[in-house]
Amino acid sequence: MFKTSYSVIGLQEKVRKVILSKSAYKNIISIVESCYPKEACGVMFGKIKESTAIITEVIKIKNVLESSYRFWFDVIEWMDVILKAKKRNLEYIGLFHSHPKGSPIPSLADRHRMLECPEEIWIIVSYTPDSAINIAAWRIDDWGSSITRLLLTVA
Ligand SMILES: [Zn+2]
């Protein structure tokens, strides 16, 4: 008989579910719209309760690459936004960015970045003005060996 479940010492419960508040969702979409056709990016804040991340606030940061297919940001700006939010008791959850072309699946460059920050949750929005918005949440799992799509709800 094989054991079907086991525990590993020191392994924390991982986030499996993301709840995006309606206001945070609206803010993400308006940031994504305003940056189109370039990729938008920003930082997400909220609370993690057990295996659920609750995102209540998002803040835009500048895509320094000014690109339609890539993003990155000034690390000083990113840290500044996080430190200010910490003073308001908001927990850093991760990043969001847009894909003005294509699907909300992490690109190869995204995957490389995500490997550097395995506990972060990334939300990707695929957006063009004339098609439906597609949004997905992701996290690196299994000690960096896979990318997991998380259950995402707007509430
Ligand atoms: Zn991307």
Domains of the chain: which residue ranges? 17-154
- What are residue 69's phi and psi, to 5 degrees? -135, 5
User: In the predicted model, what is the mean pLDDT of residues 1-26?
Assistant: 74
Give the model's pLDDT for residue 13.
66
Distance 12 CA to ligand 1 centre (A): 27
Q: Which helix (H) or strand (E) holds 79?
A: helix 75-87
Residue 101 has pLDDT above 70, yes or no: yes
Distance 9 CA to ligand 1 centre (A): 34
Distance 27 CA to ligand 1 centre (A): 18
Looking up tokens 């993400």, which residue turns up?
A: 28
Give the model's pLDDT for residue 1.
53
Residue 31 has pLDDT above 90, yes or no: yes
Residue 137 has pLDDT above 70, yes or no: yes
Q: Using CB atoms within 10 Å of the CB of residue 39, give its burial: 0 to 12 exposed, 13 to 18 middle, 19+ buried.
A: buried
* pLDDT category of residue 81 using cuts at 50, 70 and 90: very high
Integer Cα distance of 79 and 91 in angstroms:
13
Cβ–Cβ under 8 Å, residues 58 and 44: yes
Distance 45 CA to ligand 1 centre (A): 19
Distance 106 CA to ligand 1 centre (A): 5
Between 118 and 147, residue with greater pLDDT = 147
Residue 9 has pLDDT above 50, yes or no: no
CATH fold for domain 17-154: Cytidine Deaminase; domain 2 (3.40.140)
Residue 7 has pLDDT above 60, yes or no: no
